[in-house]
Amino acid sequence: MKRDIPDLAGGLLLSVIGVFVLVYASTQYDIGLLRRMGPGFFPALLGGVLAVLGLMIALPAIARKGAPIRIAWKEALAVLSAILVFAMGLERAGLVPVTLASVLIASIAAPDRRIGWRLALALIVTALSVVVFHFGLKMTVPLWPGQ
């Protein structure tokens, strides 16, 4: 029997977050009184509620069978690394090279892995983003490295 891992792990994680928020808010910030709440009151209350809800999700899941989940590792990796490359490179390398690179990375995850359409798509998207964001919206970002 496979356990209901998402609910079990997810519930426990939420509980941990809840306890952390409760402890952090009540030690770092002033709780105040009910009539004059401090900045810690609302977050501490929410942290407590989240901790309880997390347990309500996790505890029943211990004995329960779960539906199998399929994680799209390849897709997630390609998409997230494309964004990270974009974030790191935008100000240093400029809009044109970083867009080309990010589209090529993101499209690795597509079912069709040939390079031709990916290059074409990278060129189209780069042209579009230069036109829309550089010329259209006048965003101040370098187009090429060293600008």
Partner 1 sequence: MSGWEGFLHGLSVAVQPDVLIYCVFGVVLGTFVGVLPGIGAMATISLLLPITYYLSPEAALVMLAGVYYGSQYGGAVASILLRLPGTPQSAVTTLDGYPLAQQGRAGVALFTSMISSFFGSFIGIFVLILLSGVLASAATAFGAADYAAMMILGLVAASTIGAKHPAKGLAMVVLGLILGCVGTDVNSGVQRFTFGQTELMDGVNLVALAMGLFGVAEVIANIHVAERTGVPPRVALRDLLPSRAELRRIPFPALRGASLGSFFGALPGTGSTISSFLAYAAERRISRHPERFGNGAIEGVAGPEAANNAAAISAFVPTLALGIPGDPIMALMLGALVIHGVQPGPLMLEARPDMFWGLIASFGIGNLLLLILNLPLIGIWVSMLRIPFRWLYPAILIFVCLGVYSVRGSSFDIFAVALIGAIGYALSLARFNPALLLLGFVLGPLIETNLRRALLISRGDAMVFLQRPIAAAFVIATGLLIVMALVQTIRRKSRGAQEAA
Q: Which residues bind partner 1 (CB under 8 A)?
A: 6-7, 9-11, 14, 17-18, 21, 24-25, 29-30, 33-39, 42-43, 46-47, 49-50, 53-54, 56-57, 60, 64, 69, 71-72, 75-76, 79-80, 82-84, 86-88, 90-91, 95, 99, 102-103, 106-107, 109-112, 117, 121-122, 124-125, 128-129, 133, 137, 139-141
Measured in whole angstroms, how far is the alpha carbon of residue 26 from the centre of its chain?
28
Q: How far is the CB of 113 from partner 1 (least distance, A)?
A: 10
Q: DSSP 3-state assignment of 37?
A: strand
Considering beta carbons, is residue 2 or 71 the nearer one to partner 1? 71
Give the number of other CB atoms < 10 A from CB of residue 147: 8
Give the number of other CB atoms < 10 A from CB of residue 119: 14
Q: How far is the CB of 140 from partner 1 (least distance, A)?
A: 7
Considering beta carbons, is residue 137 or 146 the nearer one to partner 1? 137
Q: How far is the CB of 121 from partner 1 (least distance, A)?
A: 6
Question: What's the DSSP call for residue 139?
Answer: -
* Distance spanning both ends of the chain, measured CA to CA: 60
Tell which phi-psi region holds residue 66, choosing left (phi > 0), alpha (psi between -120 and 50) or beta: beta
Considering beta carbons, is residue 69 or 147 the nearer one to partner 1? 69
Q: DSSP 3-state assignment of 30?
A: coil
Q: How far is the CB of 135 from partner 1 (least distance, A)?
A: 13
Q: How far is the CB of 21 from partner 1 (least distance, A)?
A: 6
Cα distance between residue 82 and residue 131, in whole Å = 21
